Amino acid sequence: MTRNHALDLLKWLAMLCMVLDHLRYVGWSLDFLYVPGRLAFPWFCLAIAANLTRRPEAPLGGRYLAWLLSFAALSEIPYRLFVYPADTLNVLPTLALGLIVAKAWQQRRQPAMAALGCAVGAVAALFDHQLMFGLAGVLLPLGFVLAWQRPLYWALPLGVLCLAANAWANLFESARHFYWPAIGGIVACLLAPGLGLLVLRVGIHQAVAPMRRWAYAIYPLHFLALLGLRLLLRAL
């Protein structure tokens, strides 16, 4: 299968936005990084949807799901060491559940897959507050699967879903008081799905370094690296 350079670029951009977002917690005053940080999660969800739409008839990928779940477990301790106290699990369980729901929709004519998708959706709803980005985040990969071959305006409701996934308690109140990172974060959430789809639809002809399975290790390792940076800054 031909390598999708645009998809590789999207993954790198999502990873960069994630690291920038987490830089806010090292001790510097970097609230403005909240804005690009809102792009990371929807673009990871779009990457999942892109992989699923390439082979919609394939069974639920054991290796793909296994890698997500394995690194979800491996990442939890580094995540909690860096984000303390953590209110939710790290992001990988949300992505894993989203993968299952989206694949179940693709194969909904199979009773077992339809039942699995409903069960996972129910679990996500039950543990909405424990999952990073909640039920809305679990549904976002499915939203991208539905929007995949449709006009770009389908990204508008996905932007609302992305905003619902990112909405912290005082987001809109902060925006009402003209706290510009909150305003920028709302705008970024609304635009992120459309921007991601544009990257994939425009296409990239130049080679981009492929992001293979080794990239899963970036997630726990970047927490440890940023934790080390925070401890260093405190010691200075």
**Domain range list for the chain:** 5-235
Output the average pLDDT for the chain: 95
- Alpha carbon of residue 100 to chain centroid: 14
Burial label, 155 (beta-carbon count in 10 A; 0-12, 13-18, 19+): buried
Q: Is 0.85 topped by the overall pTM?
A: yes
* Model confidence at 61: pLDDT above 80: no
pLDDT tens sequence across 21-52: 999 999 999 999 999 999 999 999 999 999 99
| Token representation of residue 74 | 């491996």
* Model confidence at 204: pLDDT above 90: no
The answer to whether 17 and 35 have CB atoms below 8 angstroms apart is no
| Token representation of residue 221 | 């390792």
- Say how far apart CA 118 and CA 104 lie, in whole Å: 8
The answer to whether 10 and 47 have CB atoms below 8 angstroms apart is yes
* Model confidence at 203: pLDDT above 80: no
Q: Is the peptide bond before 220 cis (omega within 30 degrees of 0)?
A: no
Share of the chain above pLDDT 90, in %: 87
Write down the pLDDT at residue 142: 98
What's the rounded mean pLDDT across residues 115-138?
Answer: 98
What's the rounded mean pLDDT across residues 157-180?
Answer: 95
The answer to whether 189 and 166 have CB atoms below 8 angstroms apart is yes
DSSP H helices in 23-61: 34-37, 40-54
The answer to whether 184 and 35 have CB atoms below 8 angstroms apart is yes
Can you tell me which residue has the tokens 């425009």?
202
Within a 10 A sphere around the Cβ of 228, how many other Cβ atoms? 12
Share of the chain above pLDDT 70, in %: 99
Write down the pLDDT at residue 1: 59
Confidence of residue 62 (pLDDT cuts 50, 70, 90): confident
Q: Between residues 79 and 56, which one has the greater pLDDT?
A: 79
The answer to whether 41 and 188 have CB atoms below 8 angstroms apart is no
DSSP H helices in the chain: 5-22, 34-37, 40-54, 62-82, 91-106, 111-126, 134-147, 155-166, 171-176, 180-202, 218-235
Can you tell me which residue has the tokens 């925006």?
175
Write down the pLDDT at residue 222: 98
